[in-house]
Amino acid sequence: MAMLLKQTAIETRLFLRRRSELLWTLAFPIMFMVLFGLIYGNTQWNGMDMRAVDFLLPGIIVMGAMVTGIMRTSVGFVGEREKGIYRRLGLTPLKRQTLIGSQLLQHYIVIVVQTILLIAIGVTFFKVNITGNMFLFWLVVSIGALCFMSIGFALTGLIKTARSATPINQMAYFTLMFLGGIFFPNSMLPHFLANVANALPSTQMSDALRMVAYQGGGIADIWQNMVIMAGWILACLAISIKFFRWE
């Protein structure tokens, strides 16, 4: 455990030094939150019982979790694998499992920080009123973070080179984003697309966060969302175990 925490601290310092990555990871979702908050203000979309900005906040939290969980996990690992970093680390006392664990923990911390910043902006500047159980809200964020990191590692096993990592990840990311109920309700999609969208983890996380945050939903209201996300985690872990490569 001490080695894991020490390596996590090292990974965090390295992340903070990479200014462009730091800007992309933290500023990207915040930019969307501020932009949409200024555009929509107190606008209420037709057929919805909440303001547009209230609908968008949980979705942008999901979008931020996907940036870190999918893009950073997969692109970063593939790049370091191609440079031979993990092959060289295999010659040191540092266990590869500790290295992976520290990266996952560091990514999880970033997702939590993203979430706190987005909630603070939503509450302070756009008067978003979150009335639900914050522990349950955090639990959904945690399960969602694990789900997206699992997807990131599944993609890592399937991606051959760093050159192909970005377009493949972007394809997965934008599919989950635009069909995940992040910017608009899935009820606006054509029927055949809505069925696909409802099976995606981004949809399940967005819906669960809105249910908890604004409707005071409990475990009984979101257990199906959690089960579907858990199914994605198990499926992606199975893919990772089968195809994962250190070199």
Dihedral angle over CA of 196, 197, 203, 207, nearest 10 = -100
Looking at the chain, list the stretches that DSSP marks H as alpha helix, in order from N- to C-terminal side. 2-17, 19-22, 28-40, 52-66, 73-82, 85-89, 96-126, 134-158, 162-178, 191-197, 201-215, 219-243
Model confidence pLDDT, tens digit, residues 141-199: 999 999 999 998 888 888 887 788 888 888 999 999 989 888 888 888 888 888 889 99
pLDDT mean across residues, the chain:
86
Calculate what percentage of the chain has a pLDDT beyond 90.
39
Q: Could you tell me how far CA 29 lies from the centroid of its own chain?
A: 11
Model confidence pLDDT, tens digit, residues 24-63: 788 888 998 999 889 887 888 777 778 889 999 999 999 9
122-128 contacts, C-beta under 8 A, 24 or more apart: 122/33, 122/37, 122/53, 122/57, 125/34, 125/37, 126/37, 126/41, 126/53, 126/57, 128/53, 128/54, 128/57
Question: Rounded distance, CA 247 to CA 240, Å?
Answer: 14
User: What count of residues does the chain have?
Assistant: 247
Indicate the SS3 state at residue 235.
helix
Query: pTM of the prediction?
Result: 0.91
Looking at the predicted structure, is the pLDDT value of residue 96 above 70?
A: no
With contact defined as beta carbons under 8 Å apart, do 232 and 147 qualify? yes
With contact defined as beta carbons under 8 Å apart, do 70 and 166 qualify? no
Predicted local confidence at residue 59, as pLDDT: 94
Q: Max Cα separation, the chain?
A: 61
Question: Rounded distance, CA 244 to CA 158, Å?
Answer: 8
Question: Rounded distance, CA 202 to CA 67, Å?
Answer: 12
With contact defined as beta carbons under 8 Å apart, do 144 and 230 qualify? no
